[in-house]
Structure 1
Amino acid sequence: MYLYRAIGDRGETRDFQLSQKRTTKAARRFLVKALNRSPHNRPSVISTDKNPAYNEAIASLRREGRLAATCQHREVKYLNNRLESDHGKLKQRIRPVRGFQSQKTAHNAIRGFETMRMFRKGQFRSMVDSLAGGSEARFIGRLFQVFVA
């Protein structure tokens, strides 16, 4: 399976998707999903590895008008380092699990890993402060209606 991930310019996790194959169709599906997640905040630059599927997917999104013609697509290896280093930390969590039996199991586990990493990155800080008085444990307890002392 292939894990597609999108991070923002400050390292915050935007979205992820698992795919059986690394094709133009899968890359396009991920990019559409990531773009739909933040419709008012379109990227000005997209950095990817050199997989040719991205070129075709980005070109089709530009033709449809979903992606601005001025959006740069950079395929320079070192420009993708932020994503790769962020991705490495996720791999450290997955490795002890020794793989997954199904795509559904993998998706649910990675979603949990990503959510906890988003907490560590401080992406939920404003919600935790306003809804739970600064305590992540209280925030999660309130979110899932679990008693937390």
Structure 2
Amino acid sequence: MNHFKGKQFQKDVIIISVGYYLRYNLSYRDVQEILYDRGINVSHTTIYRWVQEYGKRLYQIWKKKNRQSFYSWKMDETYIKIKGKWHYLYRAIDSEGMTLDIWLRRKRNT
């Protein structure tokens, strides 16, 4: 079933605007302004309705997709040279090879 059928805006616009609201601590008017800067004229009340309609569903999809990364992950350490100075590069990866986090440190004990 297509949940976006009959909407005035494309699926991508709806997902991006709901994602901006949920991911970052933005108001509906802030999201409206961001979309307006990108050439999309949408009302803040429309964004509110999208969040109410699609917010829970998008969260469930995200949770289902990212569930695996919390169970199995590995830490990789390497020593690299940046602008003539040596640094430690740490990378956390999950079982599928997706990068979870990256740290760059000058000393190994930090």
TM-score, normalization: structure 2?
0.36
Bigger relative contact order (CA 8 A; separation at least 6)? 1
TM-score by length of 1: 0.29
Larger of the two Rg values belongs to structure: 2
Query: Higher helix fraction: Structure 1 or Structure 2?
Result: 1
